[in-house]
Amino acid sequence: MRRLPWILAVPALAIAQIGNVEMTAPTIGYVFDRESRGLRPIEGVPGAAILGNLVALGVPLDWASVSPNRRYAIAGVAGSGQLMLVKLDGAVGVARQTEMGLAEIAFSPAGETMALMAASRVEVWTGLPNAPQKRGELALGELSGRIDKLAISDDGAAAVALSGGELWRLTEQEPQLLGAGYSDLVFLRSSHDLIATQRAEGRVVLFRKTTGEIETEEMAGATQGIEKPVALALSADQRRLAVLNQDRVVVLVERESLTARRLPLDNVPAEGIWRVQGNAVFQFTGNGSEQIWLLDGDAGEPRLVSVARRGEQ
């Protein structure tokens, strides 16, 4: 197999694994199967989707995180401390030797920029997956070892972190506190504007110009059915918010009209919410060992649909 002329690392590098992936069926998204220790595609369309066979990588994985554009994944090779970059478009991936956990990676909305936590700093990488280059570093200072979630803008110029409910702007010097009581965050595509959920206040807040003088604006709240929100995602056209409440109700909010629809999840497992293939199709769990459910917001009436599982071939 061909080795790419780049390696995602500095300064001591080691090519550890090369993965060659070829997907033929329409792919909605991917999940990490914790029992089989590998990636599985969700194939088909919402309402007629199946959980596919393991992606053939040749090595077991400790974890995997798929980029929002679903063109590649970053994964930890089991028991080795090595990182694997797997391109999911029929090309190859290159790994480097490092110590890095799943929570220490954040992708930008378009998926071509990535933030990696390393000790007391955050490394910002752009040009993924074909031509990655290190854009710079951001200081964590007192937040070292305390980050719950990171968010990075598409150009890599804006980064915000969550730590114990506190929202922090990351810079090359010291982190700057923006507020408290937050539970999730996401940047708008090709923008430095950030959307965050404020749990106790039961609202969704827009932070404009996170690299300059920040202005805030409430986007949704109790009127739309937001109550103790724990996670959020955006549709591809960014016109719709999907907010997961603590009481396991998903609220779909139209940004322009502020109209909302509530969908109880009942027994559907949910560890978060994120968009997969489609404009407003969302997934709730990344564990392929469990039953996978999707929220099809592209349907005339939003609906919950399960993903069937097939045996290994």
Q: pLDDT tens for residues 225-278?
A: 999 999 999 999 999 999 999 999 999 999 999 999 999 998 898 999 999 999
pLDDT band at 311 (very low <50, low <70, confident <90, very high): low
Give the per-residue SS3 of 146-172: CCCEEEECCCCCCEEEEECCEEEECCC
Q: Helix, strand, coil proportions of the chain in percent (round to 5)?
A: 5, 45, 50
For the chain, what are the domain ranges? Answer: 1-100, 223-313
Query: pTM of this prediction?
Result: 0.87
Q: What is the mean pLDDT of the chain?
A: 86
Q: Alpha carbon 6 to chain centroid distance?
A: 24
Residues 6+ apart with CB under 8 A from 11: none
Residue 119 bridge partners (DSSP): none
pLDDT band at 22 (very low <50, low <70, confident <90, very high): low
String of b and e for 174-213 (b: at least 16 CB within 10 Å)? ebeebeeebbbbbbbbebbbbbbbbbebbbbbbbeebeee
Q: Which residue has the higher pLDDT, 102 or 38?
A: 38
Task: Check if CATH label 2.40.10.500 holds for domain 223-313.
Answer: yes
User: Which two tokens mark 39?
Assistant: 């990636």
